[in-house]
Amino acid sequence: MNGTVLYEPSSAPASWRIALPHTAAAVPVARALVRTALAEREHAADCDTAELLTAELVANAVEHTAGHGPIELVVELLPTGCQVEVHDADPAPPGNLTRPTVETPDPWQEHGRGLLLIRALSSSCGHRPTPSGKAVWFRLPVVPRQWRPA
């Protein structure tokens, strides 16, 4: 093949890590990065759901954490699905991410549904401490071929 490398979709894990500004401008950038990562590897996780949940994680990190330092987006593609993490400098855990609240979000409020969406649409989610703060994450499974849009 004379040194020519052809791209072939792989089941090998791949990951991306990028610093994002601690501003609302990070949200559309994060969505685009997740969409690109899933498309580039022809990954079979649900791209629309991955974008939506990534936007929620990044928006929460920007809105609810102190500091002006960057937040970090980590996207990992695995043979079984994808995992997206958002790292920030605030060690406080996100409220009610892993346990449902008894309260129903007020339908007239603009905020308050992000963690509910993450819990409802991901296969699993959580948070963990990091040396510089915390990481909040979700996982999505691979969508079986027969359930994908044509």
Distance of alpha carbon 67 from alpha carbon 22, whole angstroms: 8
Residue 117 lies in a domain: yes
Residue 135 lies in a domain: yes
Residue 8 lies in a domain: no
Please give the torsion angle defined by the CA atoms of residues 42, 146, 143 and 53, in that order, rounded to the nearest 10 degrees: 90
The size of the chain, in residues, is: 150
Q: Which domain holds residue 41?
A: 14-144
Q: What is the DSSP letter of 54?
A: H
- pLDDT, tens digit (0-9, with 9 covering 90-100), for 14-51: 888 999 999 999 999 999 999 998 887 666 778 899 99
| CATH code for the domain of 76 | 3.30.565.10
How many domains are contained in the chain?
1
Residue 55 lies in a domain: yes
Q: Of 112, 96, 20, whose CA–CA distance to 61 is shortest?
A: 20
- pLDDT, tens digit (0-9, with 9 covering 90-100), for 110-148: 555 678 889 889 999 999 999 999 999 999 998 765 554
Give me the residue label for tokens 């963690």.
115
Residue 75 lies in a domain: yes
Enter the pTM of the model.
0.80
Residue 150 lies in a domain: no
